[in-house]
Amino acid sequence: MFQAPLTASPEAVVKSLFMRAEAESLASVRMLLREAGLPESDLREEHMEAFFVSRAGDEGILACVGLERFGDTALLRSLAVRADARGHGVGDQALKTMEAFAASKGVNRLCILTTTAEPFFEARGFERCDRTALPASVQASSEFKSLCPASAVCMFKEINPTSSTKKHRHG
């Protein structure tokens, strides 16, 4: 199944707001991720509790972003914007939304795996790191263990500057 071309104006795209996903969002989220070439086979309705989505009127989901928590570290995953809505700041908005959400839940450090968007994350304060520098629980997650290719770049960002737990900074 393919989505119809986006008819919303760039202004409407930029004004889109991220809202907590609902369990019913799962199918649309998975379709968006498939189209963006990101892993989605492990996603279940429970994951939607830590997902945000942005909608454009009746046109369905424009973008999504998710979080998987492992203690004070969390994996930011599934950041995707519809191909025809990119370049208008929606990805940036998604990242900011998730950083604020994660910080409000007591997360101190975000990590990501990416094959294509390293410059996007680098421009937003993420630093490259070795996978082995992250907690074992993160390394054992399905994204790390099997879904993302070994060639994917691992990056992290401290989101709580007052945190004293900056132990995982290795290059």
Ligand X SMILES: CC(C)(COP(=O)(O)OP(=O)(O)OC[C@H]1O[C@@H](n2cnc3c(N)ncnc32)[C@H](O)[C@@H]1OP(=O)(O)O)[C@@H](O)C(=O)NCCC(=O)NCCS
- What does the binding site for ligand X look like in residue numbers (CB under 6 A)? 36, 38, 77, 79-81, 86-92, 112, 114, 116-117, 119-120
Shortest gap between Cβ of 92 and ligand X (angstroms)? 3
- Residue 79 CA from chain centroid, whole number: 3
| CA angle (43, 95, 46) in 5-degree steps | 25
Q: Collapsing DSSP states into helix, strand and coil, what is residue 25? A: helix
Residue with Cβ nearer ligand X (89 or 135):
89
DSSP class of residue 4 equals P
Distance (Å, rounded) from C-alpha 134 to C-alpha 93?
26
**Minimum distance between the CB of residue 164 and ligand X, rounded to whole angstroms?**
28
What's the rounded Cα separation, in Å, for the pair 82 and 5? 10
Q: In the complex, what is the shortest distance from the CB of residue 137 to ligand X, in angstroms, rounded to a whole number?
A: 19
Q: Which tokens sit at 50?
A: 């830590």
Least distance to ligand X from the beta carbon of 71, Å?
A: 21
For ligand X, give the closer residue by CB, 120 or 163: 120
Q: By C-beta, is 90 or 154 nearer to ligand X?
A: 90
CB of 36 to ligand X, least distance (A): 4
Report the residue closest to ligand X, judged by CB: 91
Could you tell me if 109 and 161 are in contact, meaning their C-beta atoms sit under 8 angstroms apart? no
What are the structure tokens assigned to 74, written together? 């969390």
Closer residue to ligand X, CB minimum distance, 47 or 88: 88
Among residues 26 and 94, whose Cβ is nearest to ligand X? 94
